[in-house]
Every structure is written in structure tokens, then in C-alpha cells.
């Protein structure tokens, strides 16, 4: 797939915006290329995997938030104030955002977790097979 991105290009004294073709980097090694091909065949396309990872991050953030807010105030006081404020801001913004993982989890918590973990296990198996581990 050919991708383009908007870049600023200097043309004499002027700077213009131009669409520049961006090429996807080639696989670093034959092994890495084989792993990527197998993942594409057996697990799914990159966009699907990225979506699943996004949902995984969402569930992990929810878990960390729950763990953070059950801590004793004395333990939280150990953190520098700015860090505590940043963490609490992150968690409050996250709590006010409905994600696709939230919707899936509300319908079927165990199934959602299984669906998110399964591709990661498959990727690990593919890597182990190809690397001979």
C-alpha cells in the first residue's frame, strides 16, 4: 500500500506544503519477514491487531485506575504532587471516555479478555516456531 503524508518543503525562500510519498520500510531480516507473513495469514491484518491492542490498553488502563484509587492516601502521598495530579487527570479523562473495549466488556467480560489475549498468544507461537525456540 502506498502512503502519502503532508510535509513542509522549502522551495527557495518559500515553504510549501506538499504530499510526499512515504514508503513502508522493508523487513530487516528474512526471519522477521517470515514472522510478519505468518501473522498476516494466521492472526489477522495489522489494522485488526492494532485495534485489539488498543482495546487491551483500554482494559489495562481501567484496571490500573481501579488499583490506584483503592490505595491508602498515605501511600499516594509518596508520589510527587505533579505526578499524582497527572495520573489522576489521565484516569479521570479515561473514565469519561467510552471505548469499544468498554462496550465489549460490558456485554461479555470473559469473552472480551479471551478475544484480546488469543492473538497475542498466536503471535508468540508463530515467533517461537519460526525462530526455533
In a domain, 1, yes or no: no
pLDDT in tens, 51-60: 888 999 999 9
pLDDT tens for the chain, 133 residues: list them: 556 666 666 666 666 666 666 666 554 577 888 888 888 888 888 888 888 889 999 999 999 999 999 999 999 999 999 999 999 999 999 999 999 899 999 999 999 999 989 988 999 999 999 888 7
In a domain, 97, yes or no: yes
In a domain, 68, yes or no: yes
Number of domains in the chain: 1
In a domain, 22, yes or no: no
In a domain, 63, yes or no: yes
In a domain, 15, yes or no: no
In a domain, 18, yes or no: no
* Residue 126 domain boundaries: 28-131
In a domain, 76, yes or no: yes
List Cα–Cα distances, 9 to 15, 18, 47, 87, in angstroms. 6, 7, 30, 39
Angle at 107 between CA 116 and CA 99, to 5 degrees: 65
Q: Exposed, middle or buried: residue 113 (CB in 10 Å: 0-12, 13-18, 19+)?
A: middle
Amino acid at each position: 500500500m502506498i502512503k502519502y503524508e503532508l510535509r513542509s518543503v522549502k522551495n527557495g525562500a518559500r515553504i510549501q506544503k506538499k504530499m510526499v510519498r512515504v514508503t513502508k520500510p522493508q523487513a530487516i531480516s528474512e526471519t522477521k519477514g517470515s514472522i510478519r507473513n505468518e501473522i498476516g495469514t494466521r492472526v489477522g491484518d495489522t489494522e485488526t491487531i492494532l485495534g485489539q491492542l488498543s482495546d487491551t490498553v483500554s482494559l489495562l488502563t481501567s484496571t490500573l485506575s481501579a488499583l490506584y484509587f483503592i490505595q491508602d492516601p498515605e501511600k499516594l502521598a509518596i508520589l510527587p504532587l505533579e505526578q499524582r495530579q497527572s495520573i489522576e487527570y489521565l484516569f479521570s479523562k479515561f473514565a469519561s471516555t467510552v471505548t469499544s473495549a468498554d462496550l465489549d466488556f460490558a456485554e461479555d467480560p470473559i469473552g472480551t479478555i479471551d478475544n484480546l489475549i488469543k492473538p497475542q498468544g498466536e503471535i508468540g507461537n508463530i515467533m517461537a516456531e519460526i525462530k526455533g525456540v
